[in-house]
Structure 1
Amino acid sequence: MSSMSRPRGSDMFFWAICLAAFANLVIFTIAWLGGTFGAMLLGHGWHPPKFSLISYIRIVRGENELLWPETSPVGIYLGMVLFAVLLLAPAVLLGMKLMGLRKRNVGLARARDLQSLAPAGIAKRARELRPSLAGMKELPPDETGNLLGDLEPHGPELRSSYEDVELDLMAPRAGKSTGIAIPRVLRARGAVLLTSNKSDVYAVTRAERDRIGRVWTFDPQGIAHAPREMWWNMLADCVTIEGARRLAGHFVASVNDDTTKKDFWISAAQNTLTALFLAAARGHASVSDLLGWLADPADRTPIDLLRDAQLHAMAEQLQGTVRGAVETRDGIYETARQCVACLLDPEILAWVTEDPYLPQFRPDHHVLGRDTLYLLSKDGGGSAAGVIAGLADATLRAGVVAAERMGGRLDPPMTAVLDEAANVCRISDLPDLYSHLGSRGINVVTLLQSYKQGSRVWGEAGMDAMWGAATIKLLGAGLDDADFVEKVSKLIGQHDVSTVSVSRSKDGSSRSTSYRQENVLPPDRIRAMPKGTALLLATGIRPAMIKLRPWYKEPDAGRISAQAKEEVAAITERAGAKLTAGTALHAPVPPVPADTPTHW
């Protein structure tokens, strides 16, 4: 028989006796040691009584003077209490901590699973990727990889390698700037590219990056109210059809919600802009000339320039558009004009127009040093997103060319933080670039508010491609997309949960244990992650929960914070000066008083 019959309640009675005996043993041990400890504190030395049942009975009866003669009862009881606290409190706290840790991180990666991202593993990988580190015995942490955060709850510190590309999804005010963008810019070892629609990252990092290299600020819409101290030749890469088409694609993407869906007018406008960009670059024309061609479709200058450059097919295509039906031609040109409408603003146009008194920004030079490029633009109507995307793309492609000339990888690596990429940096083929930028030593970090935000720009297929190509993914607080969070919960996986059931009958009771599968992190827990934490999904590693490291909690935060306050004050002062100048410019002319003399 598999089991023997017992009287009802026999199991419970047996375990109750065992528990009572164990509890009395623990109480007696604490009282025995505690009383001796109290006597020792009162100067009577360490003389414990016999560890026997008689001693236990005397302690229960309060006959402590028979066990510890000439010792104050108050001192004995005080010793018992102190010893109980000293012995039980750490054990209770440790047990509670272990229970909480087990409940919290069950099924997630632990330190032993993340050795490749821990300090020793990431340092070894850095030596393999960066030949310049070969002669260094001890590597500074920032030379080994990009800081991700600390493994919950007590570390170790985790970093991604310099061949990883990253995709971060977090809600607003969940720590994207303070925990990711700012630390990446401050800790970068090589050239830096940052896009943003706010001045917060710029204000915190500009002074620090100015100590390392030159700071280039491209701020055509006055996000940080930075003075124009540079210009960029927007048409420099348009001497080839590929370069012209890429630039046209950036302007089209800035007004097209989904770059994967292009109707007739959008496609025709991109073709027309490609031809015009190509003609301007080959004919050494300016952006202002290009805007004039768009305003007057009958102007044959771009067609003649294309023919002079031996680009007859492109010239014929543009001429076919011009000679087409008036309604069709005007519709194509009007769509093209809408795509580059931001260039009608003279404040924006000046940043892409040659200026002999200001230095020219050269992407091919930038990627080889330790300079910093800030690309700031507003989102929404009238934004310079097309120009920002064009300059960001030109810089990334310059990095690829430089890496190929250096043997395949930039050293030191380049850091590209594309904050608000879906709003101000819509590089149409960014998902495709993800597949090889990391192998060129270009660390791209794309920051989005949600998966749907990226899908609206690059389409479902494009966003899926970016998700798959990103070797590091950080999912922060506030993800409210139910379908996406459900998919993430499935990716994390399930674990076994045991359930104990007790059945009773007239023949006794029996216990049985069954197991069921539950999600390691249900969707509601993913959505309710606290601010400052993130779920780390790294290629080939189990998911882990990490704690972000905000810049203001680092050792040098005091100095950087003081610099940031000065920069914010400077931004405020520049904004006030512009506002005053604008008010004076548009202020009504005051009336001349009647008693004002008509001559001096």
Structure 2
Amino acid sequence: MDRVTGRSPSTGGVHDLAPWAIAALAGASLAVFTVGWAGGTLGAGVSGHGWHTPPFALSTATRLTGEGPGAVWPGTPAAAVYGGMIALLAVIALPAALVVRLLVERAGRTKGLAGRRELAGMCPKGIEARARELRPSLEGRERLHPDETGNLLGDLDPKGPELRSSHEDVELDLMAPRAGKSTGIAVPRVLRAQGAVLLTSNKSDVYAVTRAERAKAGRVWTFDPQGIAHTERAMWWNLLGDCETIEGARRLAGHFVASVNDDAAKKDFWISAAQNTLTALFLAAARRGASVADLLGWLADPADRTPVDLLRDAGLMAMAEQLQGTVRGAVETRDGIYETARQTVSCLLDPEILAWVTPDPYLPEFRPDRHVVGTDTLYLLSKDGGGSAAGVIAGLADATMRAGVVAAERMGGRLDPPLTAVLDEAANVCRISDLPDLYSHFGSRGINVVTLLQSYRQGARVWGEVGMDALWSAATVKLLGAGLDDADFVQKISTLVGQHDVKTPSLSRSKEGTSRSYSYRQESILPPDRIRALPKGTALLLATGVRPALIRLRPWYKEPGADTISAQAKAESEAITARAAARAVGGVRLEKRSRWERDAAPA
């Protein structure tokens, strides 16, 4: 505001800019004349008409514009003169264009975020050096494929380079639905994996895109008890295989309990008692070779003393006494505990689900210990909500990753090549209750885990606030994508990103003249509204020890070879549709047959 007139500083702005405009016009004219003068001389000399330099004066410019190049460089063809001018202009323009491009890129980059220098350890050279330290199998090789060096995250915004996480990083990604989790993270991570792969999902999209390519790397195991991809059962897994120890039985029981408990941090009496009872039953069945069907029978009849006797025969007296105490307790309490336990494993009452965890002599058994040291792929597909096989899915995923830990210890501490575990929809179909505690341990063993959630609050609902905070802290790489609508969480992220100084000019006028002053204020580098409005396909990268950065995800369909993969995905999707239609027709036929048998039965 003008101190004298009270008018806006913009008043009289034309007069303030006039001297600058005159100076700019004079500078541009001088630059054009210099290029013409030097370029014309260059053209004349190169064409063999002598290196006669005309005077660097206004008169030369007048003659050149009025009479043409022949008056300044006599005897020299005009084409040679103009050619020299164009050549000199090109020599000057190319570096200038590069400088302008760099300035534009720097201006377009959000100030205060990490750049190429801060992220050098995640750039190609830095990540390759780290990979050679972590993977002994790469020793002695001069050239490495980029996928051997680390896990692709995306390109630094706006112009790169590509950034990768190392093989000891564990990742947590928060993005809203349809923000690029599958196309930009899950699918590329599965396609680029160098070792064994584990994927959990409640949809068939990632399976359809990646199955054909992963079949080229090794065997594809599809655990699909609820018909997400409508695949025929071609495997079975021993549900009780790791339950011969109390720890293994308790972990499996915990997976089934977590599948029905909305908050793992809040376990009431019935949930805790049901987990203890399931632990005892799993242990009894595993120690004496009983089947899962036998275990369901014990749950249906609390008075059955078989599991107590089996525990005693196995020498587990304390566990047997505890189970017997539950059975002999007050009827109301006993029935409540057993009913809660029955609800947690209710998915096993479905014969189609039970078949996948029952030994079958005609089908191969999936062995987690063998899977983690190869290049096979395991797809774990399940519906979410009531009746889902989430407990079974979590149990198999946990068994596979723990088998990876054991294999890593045998290899000297780290899997090589690493195991890639993509826990998509982890909060719905893969509720491993102690995942936050295991996260950092997985990274040190060469198990590259990436957990995909729709929001921070979704994770807090499963693992509790304390558990989700632990998972957040343990993840060495975090990607926050589009559509994060939790105001409190987004505000915390804005605070983590930090603030930067903003220079603000002010103009004042007085009788003595015009003066300009500057003041500084702090603003958020990324305000909450901007974090919430991140475009689809971009993400905020939070890596340990580095300032936050913006990256652009690289969807699989924009990568080389996408046409072939797209054709394979289309064929797989059509096959899934055909299998679904055949299953629906089969179900209708079976229902009609059942009705006919019922109607034909004698009264």
- Which residue does 1:432 correspond to in 2? 437
- Which residue does 1:482 correspond to in 2? 487
Residue 47 of structure 1: how far off its partner (Å): 9.0
2:340 matches 1:335: yes
CA distance in 2, matches of 1:102, 1:14: 26
- Answer whether contact 1:421 1:447 (CA < 8 A) is retained: yes
2:515 matches 1:510: yes
Q: Which letter does structure 2 place at the counterpart of 1:353?
A: T
Cα 1:501–1:343 change in 2 (3 A) is: same
- Answer whether contact 1:10 1:508 (CA < 8 A) is retained: no
- Answer whether contact 1:146 1:162 (CA < 8 A) is retained: yes
- Answer whether contact 1:152 1:547 (CA < 8 A) is retained: yes
CA distance in 2, matches of 1:478, 1:207: 31
- Which residue does 1:283 correspond to in 2? 288
CA distance in 1, matches of 2:182, 2:150: 19
- Which residue does 1:273 correspond to in 2? 278
TM-score after normalising by structure 2: 0.88
- Given the alignment, which residue of 397, 401, 406 partners 1:396? 401
Q: How does 1:370-381 map to 2 (within 5 A)?
A: 370-381=375-386
- Answer whether contact 2:274 2:338 (CA < 8 A) is retained: yes
Bigger drift between 29-38 and 119-128 goes to 29-38
Report SS of the residue matched to 1:445: strand
Q: Which letter does structure 1 place at the counterpart of 2:232?
A: P
CA distance in 1, matches of 2:409, 2:35: 73
- Which residue does 2:583 correspond to in 1? 578
- Answer whether contact 1:31 1:80 (CA < 8 A) is retained: no
2:465 matches 1:460: yes
- Given the alignment, which residue of 553, 567, 577 partners 1:548? 553
Report SS of the residue matched to 2:117: helix
- Given the alignment, which residue of 242, 253, 260 partners 1:255? 260
2:526 matches 1:524: no
Q: Which letter does structure 1 place at the counterpart of 2:152?
A: L
2:224 matches 1:219: yes
- Which residue does 1:26 correspond to in 2? 28
CA distance in 2, matches of 1:262, 1:365: 35
Q: How does 1:221-370 map to 2 (within 5 A)?
A: 221-370=226-375
- Answer whether contact 2:501 2:522 (CA < 8 A) is retained: yes
- Which residue does 1:109 correspond to in 2? 114
Q: Which letter does structure 2 place at the counterpart of 1:284?
A: G
Cα 1:264–1:18 change in 2 (3 A) is: closer
Q: How many residues align?
A: 581
CA distance in 2, matches of 1:186, 1:200: 13
1:495-532 CA deviation, whole Å, 9 max, x = no partner? 11111111111122222111111111111111111111
- Which residue does 1:3 correspond to in 2? none
Residue 580 of structure 1: how far off its partner (Å): 1.1
Residue 50 of structure 1: how far off its partner (Å): 4.8
CA distance in 2, matches of 1:143, 1:10: 63
CA distance in 1, matches of 2:58, 2:20: 17
CA distance in 1, matches of 2:528, 2:377: 39
Q: How does 1:55-134 map to 2 (within 5 A)?
A: 95=100, 98-99=103-104, 101-134=106-139
2:541 matches 1:539: no
Report SS of the residue matched to 2:274: helix
- Which residue does 2:600 correspond to in 1? none
- Which residue does 2:599 correspond to in 1? none
Cα 1:102–1:586 change in 2 (3 A) is: same
Report SS of the residue matched to 2:451: strand
- Answer whether contact 2:109 2:158 (CA < 8 A) is retained: no
Residue 430 of structure 1: how far off its partner (Å): 0.2
Residue 63 of structure 1: how far off its partner (Å): 7.4
Residue 276 of structure 1: how far off its partner (Å): 0.9
- Answer whether contact 1:34 1:82 (CA < 8 A) is retained: no
**Percentage identity across paired residues of the two chains:** 72
1:261-297 CA deviation, whole Å, 9 max, x = no partner? 1011111111111111111111211101111111111
Q: Which letter does structure 1 place at the counterpart of 2:255?
A: H
- Which residue does 2:195 correspond to in 1? 190
1:334-380 CA deviation, whole Å, 9 max, x = no partner? 11111001001001000001111111111111111111111000011
Cα 1:13–1:206 change in 2 (3 A) is: closer
1:216-261 CA deviation, whole Å, 9 max, x = no partner? 1100000011110111110111111111111110000000111111
Q: Which runs of 5+ in 1 are unaligned?
A: 1-8, 592-600
Q: Which letter does structure 2 place at the counterpart of 1:26?
A: A
- Which residue does 2:477 correspond to in 1? 472
CA distance in 2, matches of 1:540, 1:67: 64
- Answer whether contact 1:36 1:47 (CA < 8 A) is retained: no
Residue 52 of structure 1: how far off its partner (Å): 3.1
CA distance in 2, matches of 1:129, 1:67: 69
CA distance in 1, matches of 2:307, 2:228: 35
CA distance in 1, matches of 2:418, 2:409: 13
- Answer whether contact 2:213 2:565 (CA < 8 A) is retained: yes
CA distance in 2, matches of 1:471, 1:29: 53
1:457-503 CA deviation, whole Å, 9 max, x = no partner? 00111111011111111111111111111111111111111111111
Residue 83 of structure 1: how far off its partner (Å): 11
CA distance in 1, matches of 2:90, 2:482: 39
- Answer whether contact 1:28 1:56 (CA < 8 A) is retained: no
CA distance in 1, matches of 2:24, 2:48: 30
CA distance in 2, matches of 1:112, 1:575: 52
Cα 1:130–1:82 change in 2 (3 A) is: closer
- Which residue does 1:596 correspond to in 2? none
Cα 1:497–1:291 change in 2 (3 A) is: same
Residue 198 of structure 1: how far off its partner (Å): 0.6
CA distance in 2, matches of 1:385, 1:551: 28
2:161 matches 1:159: no
Residue 446 of structure 1: how far off its partner (Å): 0.4
Residue 587 of structure 1: how far off its partner (Å): 2.8
- Given the alignment, which residue of 10, 16, 19 partners 1:17? 19
Residue 434 of structure 1: how far off its partner (Å): 0.5
1:71-130 CA deviation, whole Å, 9 max, x = no partner? 999xx99x9999999988996896477346424321111111111111111111111111
Residue 16 of structure 1: how far off its partner (Å): 3.9
- Answer whether contact 1:30 1:80 (CA < 8 A) is retained: no
Cα 1:134–1:29 change in 2 (3 A) is: closer
Residue 147 of structure 1: how far off its partner (Å): 1.0
CA distance in 1, matches of 2:13, 2:595: 101
1:536-575 CA deviation, whole Å, 9 max, x = no partner? 1111111111111111122121222222222112211211
CA distance in 2, matches of 1:261, 1:203: 37
- Answer whether contact 2:442 2:448 (CA < 8 A) is retained: yes
Residue 27 of structure 1: how far off its partner (Å): 3.1
Q: Which letter does structure 2 place at the counterpart of 1:538?
A: A
- Answer whether contact 1:162 1:441 (CA < 8 A) is retained: yes
Q: How does 1:484-499 map to 2 (within 5 A)?
A: 484-499=489-504
Cα 1:516–1:49 change in 2 (3 A) is: same
Cα 1:67–1:346 change in 2 (3 A) is: same
CA distance in 2, matches of 1:121, 1:80: 44
Q: Which runs of 5+ in 2 are unaligned?
A: 1-10, 597-603
CA distance in 1, matches of 2:52, 2:487: 67
CA distance in 2, matches of 1:70, 1:483: 78
Q: Which letter does structure 2 place at the counterpart of 1:21?
A: A
